Amino acid sequence: MFVDLVKIKIKSGKGGDGRVSFHREKYIAAGGPDGGDGGRGGNVVFKVDDNLSTLLDFRMKRKYIAEDGEMGGTKKSFGKTGKDIVIRVPRGTLIKDADTGLLIHDMSGDEPFIAAHGGRGGWGNTHFATPTRQAPRFAKPGLPGQEFNIILELKLIADVGLVGFPNVGKSTLLSVVSAARPKIANYHFTTLSPNLGVVYIDEGASFVMADIPGIIEGAAEGAGLGHDFLRHIDRCRLLVHIIDVAGSEGRDPVEDLEAINAELGGYSAELAKRPQIVVANKVDILEEGSDNLERLKAAAEAKGFIFTSISAAAMQGVQDLMRLVYSELQKLPPIAYYEPEYVVPAEAEVPTDREINIEVVDGVYVVSGAWIDKIVGSVFLDEYESRMYFERILRKAGVFDRLEAMGIEDHDLVNVAGVEFEYIY
Rounded percentage of the chain residues whose pLDDT exceeds 90:
39
Check residue 278 and give its pLDDT: 95
Distance CA(210)–CA(159), nearest Å, equals 8
Check residue 295 and give its pLDDT: 94
Check residue 343 and give its pLDDT: 82
Does residue 113 register a pLDDT over 90? yes
412 pLDDT band, cuts 50/70/90, is: confident
Does residue 369 register a pLDDT over 90? no
| Between 63 and 5, the higher pLDDT residue | 63
191 pLDDT band, cuts 50/70/90, is: very low
| Between 23 and 351, the higher pLDDT residue | 23
339 falls within a domain: no
**Helix/strand/coil for 287:** coil
Residue-number span of the structural domain to which 389 is assigned: 357-422
Residues 297 and 401 in one domain: no
Cα angle: 359, vertex 363, 369; to 5 degrees: 25
Residues 46 and 136 in one domain: yes
Does residue 309 register a pLDDT over 90? yes
Residues 211 and 281 in one domain: yes
**Helix/strand/coil for 277:** strand
Q: How far is CA 68 from the centre of its chain?
A: 22
Does residue 317 register a pLDDT over 90? yes
CATH number at residue 237: 3.40.50.300
Check residue 214 and give its pLDDT: 59
391 pLDDT band, cuts 50/70/90, is: confident
Distance CA(84)–CA(91), nearest Å, equals 21
349 falls within a domain: no
Residues 257 and 366 in one domain: no
**Helix/strand/coil for 24:** coil
pLDDT 10s digits, 325-342: 999 999 999 887 888 988
236-240, 362-366, 390-394, range with greatest mean pLDDT: 236-240
Check residue 324 and give its pLDDT: 95
Check residue 372 and give its pLDDT: 78
Residues 325 and 391 in one domain: no
Check residue 279 and give its pLDDT: 95
Check residue 98 and give its pLDDT: 94
Tell me the helices (H) and strands (E) count for the chain, helix number first: 10, 18
Check residue 387 and give its pLDDT: 78
CATH number at residue 369: 3.30.300.350
Residues 93 and 221 in one domain: no
CATH number at residue 45: 2.70.210.12
Residues 93 and 35 in one domain: yes
Mean pLDDT of 249-254: 88
Distance CA(399)–CA(132), nearest Å, equals 28
54 falls within a domain: yes
Number of domains in the chain: 3
Which residue among 107, 139, 154 closes a domain? Answer: 154
Distance CA(63)–CA(27), nearest Å, equals 52
Mean pLDDT of 308-320: 92
Residues 88 and 141 in one domain: yes
User: Are the beta carbons of 308 and 281 closer than 8 angstroms?
Assistant: no
Residues 43 and 73 in one domain: yes
Mean pLDDT of 347-355: 62
Which residue among 138, 154, 170 closes a domain? Answer: 154
Check residue 23 and give its pLDDT: 87
Check residue 190 and give its pLDDT: 46
pLDDT 10s digits, 257-289: 998 888 888 888 888 889 999 999 999 888 888
Mean pLDDT of 147-167: 89
What DSSP state is assigned to residue 31?
-
- Window from 186-190, 234-238, 358-362, 369-373 with minimum mean pLDDT: 186-190
Residues 89 and 167 in one domain: no
User: Are the beta carbons of 94 and 338 closer than 8 angstroms?
Assistant: yes
351 falls within a domain: no
Check residue 5 and give its pLDDT: 87
Mean pLDDT of 94-117: 94
108 falls within a domain: yes
AA identity, residue 215: I
Check residue 199 and give its pLDDT: 92
Check residue 254 and give its pLDDT: 94
Which residue among 120, 154, 188 closes a domain? Answer: 154
Residues 220 and 105 in one domain: no
337 falls within a domain: no
Residues 9 and 142 in one domain: yes
List strand residue ranges (DSSP E) for 261-388, in order.
Answer: 276-281, 306-309, 357-361, 364-368
Phi/psi region, residue 154 (left: phi>0; alpha: psi -120 to 50; beta: rest), is beta
Check residue 215 and give its pLDDT: 65
Mean pLDDT of the chain: 85
Does residue 352 register a pLDDT over 60? no
User: Are the beta carbons of 347 and 119 closer than 8 angstroms?
Assistant: yes
| Between 95 and 218, the higher pLDDT residue | 95
243 pLDDT band, cuts 50/70/90, is: very high
